[in-house]
Chain A
Amino acid sequence: MKYIKFLIAGIVFGIILSKSEAISWYRIYEMFKFQSFHMYGIIGSAVVVGIGFVQLIKKTNLKNTDGNSIEFTPKKSGKYRNIIGGMLFGFGWALAGACPGPFFVLLGSGVFPILIVILGALIGVFTYHATKSKLPH
């Protein structure tokens, strides 16, 4: 039962991604061709409001549901990993017309060929961890 709130949050997020058309292959193509403001509006307004939320949490020292302070731990960074990894991700994002969140929303929408993309993603994740000691980070 302690996972039900995360399940519900996922359902809500899935509905938002679907109803905003952010899961549509066409919207991703259109975004990369600068032919509509739609996707930039979604990401931009999410980040602007998100910055406000993060500042609000910090200013009010809001506690999470476990009663602890909310920590903003930075992700691991490096000279190369963000830019190279990011570019590879970008190639895939544009080619699939979807990123990991929408993969699962599309699966629920009945777009079953997305399973091939998910399989590819799992192979990609496996390959990254199998080769990461040789990659520049």
Chain B
Amino acid sequence: MTAAPVEIAGACQRDRAGIRRWARNPSAAAGGALVGLIVAVALVSLVWTPYPPLAVDPSHSLAGPSWSHPLGTDQYGRDVLSRLMAGSRVSLYAGVVSVLVATVAGVPAGLLAAQWGGVPAQVVLRLSDVLYAFPALLAAIVLSAALGSSTTTAMLAIGIAFVPVLVRVTRSNALVVLGSDYVLAARAYGRRPLAILRRHVLPNIATTLIAQMSLLFSLAILAEAGLDYLGLGTTPPTASWGDMIQTAQNYLSQDPLLSVWPGTAIFLAVLGFSLLGEGTAELRNARLGRSA
């Protein structure tokens, strides 16, 4: 029997639609704004930064904020603002690579495990457990040793570490969809398993996956910064936020602000993607109401 709460969900859906609804959710809106800002900065930095990020100017090293250098300069006289802007590209790249790797490997595996169950599912899940147990840091070190240290190798490692998360999220959500009556109906009119995965399962789990990917993106940025800090990721002198923090720590007494800028940038980026992910998840739950 349809009870009142479900009808309320129906009523609320009607007042909002699409982008407007998205914009009204505080998490999604705030997250979206932050992410948008960072992406914009990254795009701009491709064609212009106040100074070349690598331009060294020893005579102006460790200068505080001023009109010519709004965020000051580092120990080599490089403009912090320019390096911060260029660094955003690295962070975004890091997020994209790792989330892409995790998605390409994890989502199909999760779908496979959900659809076929039995032995294939057990294989996928146990492999995923192995990956989960393997420390990401160790993987990063191994890969860097094998393939040379760079952002890409570091993020490959992080991406592999993310795979189990996506496998599980994909599988559990796919199982719910696969258990629904509309999938049973689809089987009744002859849809094959792959077509069902493509037409029914993926569209219905997409929003949840995107929310998860957004959260992973934020973790990737953090992880990349951490790896840079340890010297395993982006090699200097390429500007990256983690590297900037690493060098700034040597000058904490002389120029404390030097570490604040990249730290804040990381904070905002992580916050932005996290909020975006949470907001998307909230919206999805609200749309389905309590009937989900």
**A and B, one complex?**
no
- Contact surface of A with B, Cβ cutoff 8 Å: none
- Contact surface of B with A, Cβ cutoff 8 Å: none
